[in-house]
């Protein structure tokens, strides 16, 4: 009888451990990016951002557009995407600091592993792709006036990745 009770309690607590893992990952990623600020999830106040130097609260609306965009996107990926989904992310580099762009795919891979979804990112930013050229596909012509000449010679996504 006690064993049945403990199994039931474990099942009920499992949903909380999943939520806690998502909260911890959100805080880890965002706090690895914010300068002189810290994000924490508070049971009473929700998302709270504070200044490191004095602990004062910063309203979420006072964050930069890039900070706001990243927090919203990562929160949505963690808490609103169903397992086994395919997520399309269009131009995540908009308003995003170059340093954050370079870590974007790695962050989404961590989240996708936890939640259990696949994703496709459409970007113009080589910083977003970064070290992930091996899993990137170029859509459209293999060359252009920007990438190379009209004969298809010159730089392509593949040769840029080798640079």
In this model, does residue 155 exceed pLDDT 50?
no
Mean pLDDT across the stretch 71-75? Answer: 96
What the chain holds in terms of domains, given with CATH numbers, is: 2-131 (3.40.50)
In this model, does residue 157 exceed pLDDT 70?
no
What gap in Å lies between CA 91 and CA 95, rounded to an integer?
A: 10
Mean pLDDT across the stretch 41-61? Answer: 94
pLDDT band with cut points at 50, 70 and 90 for residue 159? very low
Mean pLDDT across the stretch 53-69? Answer: 94
Structure-derived torsion over alpha carbons of residues 94, 158, 88, 97, reported in degrees to the nearest 10: -20
Q: pTM of this prediction?
A: 0.77
């Amino acid at each position: 009888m006690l064993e049945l009770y403990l199994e039931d309690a474990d099942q009920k607590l499992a949903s909380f451990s999943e939520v806690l893992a998502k909260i911890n990952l959100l805080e880890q990623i965002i706090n690895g990016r914010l300068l002189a600020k810290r994000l924490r999830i508070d049971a009473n106040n929700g998302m709270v951002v504070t200044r490191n130097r004095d602990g004062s609260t910063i309203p979420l609306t006072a964050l930069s557009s890039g900070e706001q965009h990243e927090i919203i996107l990562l929160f949505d990926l963690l808490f609103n995407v169903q397992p086994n989904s395919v997520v399309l992310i269009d131009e995540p580099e908009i308003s995003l600091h170059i340093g954050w762009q370079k870590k974007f795919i790695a962050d989404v891979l961590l989240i996708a592993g936890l939640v259990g979804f696949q994703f496709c990112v459409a970007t113009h930013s080589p910083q977003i792709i970064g070290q992930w050229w091996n899993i990137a596909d170029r859509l459209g012509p293999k060359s252009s006036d920007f990438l190379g000449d009209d004969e298809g010679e010159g730089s392509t996504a593949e040769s840029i990745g080798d640079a």
